Structure 1
Amino acid sequence: MEQHSLSIRAHAVALMNQGIPNRVVATQLNVPRGTVGWWRSEDRKARGVAYEQPTDCPRCTSRQFDEVAYAYLLGLYLGDGHIVSKPGQHHLSIFCNATQIGLIAEAERAMRRVMPLPSVSRRHKLGCVEVKSYTKHWCCMFPQHGPGMKHQRKIALEPWQQTITDAHPWEFVRGLIHSDGCRVTNWTTRLVGGERKRYEYPRYFFTNVSADIRRLFTDTLDKLGVEWTHCTRHGNPYNISVARRASVALMDAHVGPKY
C-alpha cells in the first residue's frame, strides 16, 4: 500500500476544509479517492465535527446558478418529474421517452447546470429512461414537492421562481412541452372548387391533470402572445391546444418537437 507524506495529507485536509470535493482533491494531489475520504473522516473525528453532506444548492449557499437551465428543468419537473425525499434516499427523477435521446441528454444537462455537485445517472425501463440526480437539496429548488400526486395538491411558484420564469418564459414553456406536451400534425377536409380536399396543419398539445400546472402554462403563453384553447379529447378536459398559424410559428421558433 502506497504511503503518503504528512504534508500531502495536511494539504488534502486543508483543501477539503475549503469545501473542495473529495474527487477533486484526489485528482489534484494524485491520491486515491478512498484515501482522501478516509483522511476527511479522520479529520472530522479529531475535531469532533459531525458529517454533513457537501452541497452546492443555490438556495442554501446563495450561489449563482444557471437560471435558463433551471426554467427548463422546472418545466420538466412539473410535467414528468418527481422527488423522493426520505431517510437514506433523496433524488430528483425526470421520466423521458426512451426514443427521445435529445430530451434525455437535455434533462441531464439541465440538472448538472443547476447543481453540478450531485451525481446524475440514467435508469432504463421499458419504453422510458429515468434521469436521476441524487441530493436532498432538490427539495430546496422545487418547493412544490410534497406528499401525494401533484394534481392532488396546490401548485404555485415561489416569488423567486416566478422571477426566473418571467425572465426566461420560453425555456419554461419548452420544459413543459418536452415533458407533458407534443407537436402533432392534424388534418381536416375542405371544399375547394366543389371538391373535398385533405388539409394538414401543425398543432401543439399540452396535457396535465393539475389545473394549477395548466394555468402556469397558459399564463406564460398569454405573456408571450401565444393563442391557445382548451381542448377536450375522449372526454378528458385536461388538454391545452395551440393551433393558430402565427402561434404555432412562435412555438416552432422557440420550442419545436421533442427529439
Structure 2
Amino acid sequence: MQIPAAWTLVGLCCLVAVTYSAQLAPIRAAAAAPRPGPPPSTLALELRSIFRQIPRKQIEKLVQAYILNDEEFQGVVRDINSLQAYRLSRQLAAQPEVRQLLQWLSQQLILSGSSLKIFEDLELEIKVINKYPQASQLVNGIRGFELEFFQIYPLELIRSLLEPSATQSSPALAELWRRLVALLPAYERVTGSPPGKLFIQKLQTRGVAVQDVDALIRYQFGWSNATLGGADYPGYDYLYY
C-alpha cells in the first residue's frame, strides 16, 4: 500500500513540529536543594556550650590579682602544686570510678571528632608581670578570694546544664551526669585516706575554708543539695533532685 505524498508531507511536518517544540520547551528550574539543618549535637559540642558559661577571663583576672599580690594565696597555690598534691591527684585518677569515666569520656569525644584535650579550654593563663600593683590594696587573703570566686562562678547554672531535666534531655549528658554522680565513693576514699587528711589539714592551716570548698564540689557533681552557709555567699538551693 502506497502512502500518498501529501500524507507523507503532513507526517514529516508533524514530526518536525513535535521535535522543534520539544527543543524549545521552557527549562524547568531544578528543585532547590534542601537547606542543611544544624549539625547533630555531639557531646563535644554540648561540653563546649557549657564551658562557654564559665567566666574564664574573670576567673583568670581574679587568680592573677591574688597570685601576684597576696601571700596567703601564694602559699595555697604552692601547696596545690606540691608533690604531695600531685600524688593525691594520681591516687584519685587511679580509682576505678574515675578510670571508667575517663575511658568512656575519651571514647565519646573521639566519636564526636574531639578528644580529652577539649578540657584544655578550662585552663587558666596567668601572666607573671604585675601591671596593676594597686591590686595589692584589693586582695583580702584566702577568705577574700573564696568569697569573690563564689560570686562569679555560676555554680547553679553549670549544674542545671549538666543534670538531666525538662530542658536538658541529651542522652550523652545524662550518661555523663550519671557517671559524675558515681564518683562520690572515689572522692571520699581519697579525701578520707591518711595522705588526703594530711593535705586537707595543711589547707586548713593556710586558712582555706575546706568545708565550703567541699560543699561546692558536692553540689556541683550532684552528691549533695546542701547550700553554702553564711550571708556572705550567693544563695543557691536545689529543691528537686
TM class by shorter chain equals: under 0.3
Structure with the higher fraction of residues in helix conformation: 2
Output the TM-score relative to the length of structure 1: 0.24
Output the TM-score relative to the length of structure 2: 0.26
- Compare relative contact order (CA 8 Å, sep 6+) and give the higher one, 1 or 2: 2
The structure with the largest alpha-carbon Rg is 2
